[in-house]
Structure 1
Amino acid sequence: MSELSNSIILIGGGGHAKVLIELIKERGDYQIAGILDPKLEVGEQVKGVPVLGTDSELSRLQEQGVQNVAIAVGSVKSNLLRATLFEQCQELELNIPTLIHHRAIVSAEVVLSAGVQIMAGAIIQTDTTIGAGAVINTGAQVDHDCQIGNHAFLAPGVVLSGGVTVGDHSFVGTGAVVIQGVNIGEKAVIAAGAVVIQDVEDGALVKGVPAK
């Protein structure tokens, strides 16, 4: 394995990992050293990247010179696993870089925390803040003055109008639309295709048009 300081390990080898592999290879900022995933066999490959074992291998890989890691586990409603893995990597003092697809549009006035992932076609407008480990997925649109919490997950095609707040660990499903000024609480779930026109409480699940 390479001991270059720009090598990176992906934790997770599913569909989200495939998207990140292409993003990382196209940008060229990091060399992907391998994937850690308990559901895959050692030696198996995902888009040409070898599976090295489970996340229990992180300490050994770190000793060999790996300094960077990406949380490549996707999300369906719950973001707990992503957050847990993120915290484990922080405890090991590994770097969790922000990853932005070169075909995303991100205002220079956006504040990005550690480990944010922004996929192809996403648009993020001025004076928005995105918390640690959050994912802005393919084609999502985040307008001005939004606040996206830690480990929040915006699925493909989500549209947030100006001044929307998405709480920590919340999940906004594919194609959901949130009108301006709405506050989505922590650990809330917005179903795919929902149209949110009023605030959503912590831990709530809302769906439909308008979302209830």
Structure 2
Amino acid sequence: MNKTSNAIILLGGGGHAKVLIDLITESGDFKIVGILDPELECGTQLKGIEVLGTDEVLPELRDQGVQNVAVAVGSIKCNLLRKTLFNRSRELNFQMPALIHPNSICSADISLSDGVQVMAGAIIQTDSILGEGTVVNTGAQVDHDCQIGSHVFLGPGVVLSGGVTIGNNTFVGAGAVLIQGVRVGDNAVIAAGAVVIQDVEDGALVKGVPAR
């Protein structure tokens, strides 16, 4: 495999990987050269992309000249696997570029860290900051001045009003709404459809309308 600066490997071969394949194909910034997933048989394909093995072949791919990795596993409440794969890739000196769907809307005045993924239809407004490895899923809305930590997963259709703060490793389920200025701690879980009108402590699980 020849060294190319835009070659990228996907870690994971499930539904989230399918969405990333579409994103990367639409953007044209990177060329996907393979998928690594311990649950899939080597040599099979996902949307035309070959499964090359498990994460154990990462050093070999690096030595062959692949420079970029995308964490392509999704999240259901716990983001530990995404964080683990991100950190392992960094230890192996891979780059983890931010991936932004061309049909998203992103202000010019936002900060996106390594490994951020912004899916189709998402909106991120001015002066928002997103930490490394964070996912803004399909149709999610992040309004002005939000501060989102590392390895946060915003499900489809999430709405963050202005000035929301979210800590590291937190999961926000599909369709949840957080009103302006609320603060959510690290490792919290916001259930799908919840309406958050007050601060959420570290490690808390809240659900309902209003969320408790």
TM-score (norm 1): 0.99
RMSD over aligned CA atoms reads 0.6
Corresponding residue SS for 1:68? strand
Deviation at 1:45, TM superposition (A): 0.5
Counterpart in the other structure of 1:158: 158
Partner of 1:120 in structure 2? 120
Within a 5 Å distance, the mapping from 1:83-162 to structure 2 comes to 83-162=83-162
- Structure 2: runs of 5 or more not aligned: none
- Cα distance between partner residues in 2 of 1:88 and 1:146: 28
1: distance between equivalents of 2:74 and 2:132? 15
Q: How many residues align?
A: 212
SS in 2 for 1:34: strand
Gaps of 5+ in 1: none
Task: Look up the equivalent residue of 1:103 and give its one-letter code.
Answer: N
What is the deviation of 1:6? 1.2
Matching residue of 2:31:
31
Work out whether residues 138 and 157 of structure 1, in 8 Å CA contact, stay in contact via their aligned partners in 2.
Answer: yes
1:59 offset after TM fit, Å? 0.2
Check the 8 A contact 1:2/1:33 in 2, yes or no: no
Superimposed CA distance per residue, residues 71-118 of structure 1 (whole angstroms, 9 cap, x where no aligned partner): 001000000000011000111110000000000000000011000000
Deviations 1:167-190 (A, max 9, x none): 100000000000000001000000
SS at match of 1:24: helix
Partner of 1:63 in structure 2? 63
Residue 43 of structure 1 corresponds to which residue in structure 2?
43
Aligned to 2:17, the other structure's residue is in SS state helix
TM-score (norm. length: structure 2): 0.99
Say which SS state the counterpart of residue 85 (structure 1) adopts: helix
Kindly indicate whether residue 202 of structure 2 is the aligned counterpart of residue 209 of structure 1.
Answer: no
What is the letter of the counterpart of residue 50 of structure 1?
E
- The structural deviation recorded for 1:5 is 2.2
State the match for 1:76 in structure 2: 76
Partner of 1:16: 16
Conserved in 2, the CA contact under 8 Å of 1:191 and 1:207? yes
- Once the two structures are superposed, residues 113-137 of structure 1 have per-residue CA deviations (whole angstroms, 9 ceiling, x without a partner) of 0000000000000010000000000
CA distance in 1 between partners of 2:16 and 2:67 (Å): 21
Distance 1:119 1:30 in 2: 16
Query: In structure 2, the residue corresponding to 1:62 is in which secondary structure?
Result: helix
Supply the distance in 2 between the matched residues of 1:28 and 1:145 (Cα, whole angstroms): 29
Runs of 4+ in 1 over 3 A off after TM superposition: none
Q: Look up the match of 2:193.
A: 193
Give the drift of 1:2: 4.5
Percent identity of equivalent pairs: 69
Asked if the contact 1:12/1:35 (under 8 Å) is kept, the reply is: yes
Q: Structure 2: which amino acid aligns with 1:135?
A: V
Q: CA–CA distance in 1 between the matches of 2:2 and 2:44?
A: 19
Q: What letter matches 1:27 in structure 2?
A: S
CA distance in structure 1 between the aligned counterparts of 2:28 and 2:110, rounded to whole angstroms: 23
Question: How far off its partner does 1:158 sit?
Answer: 0.1
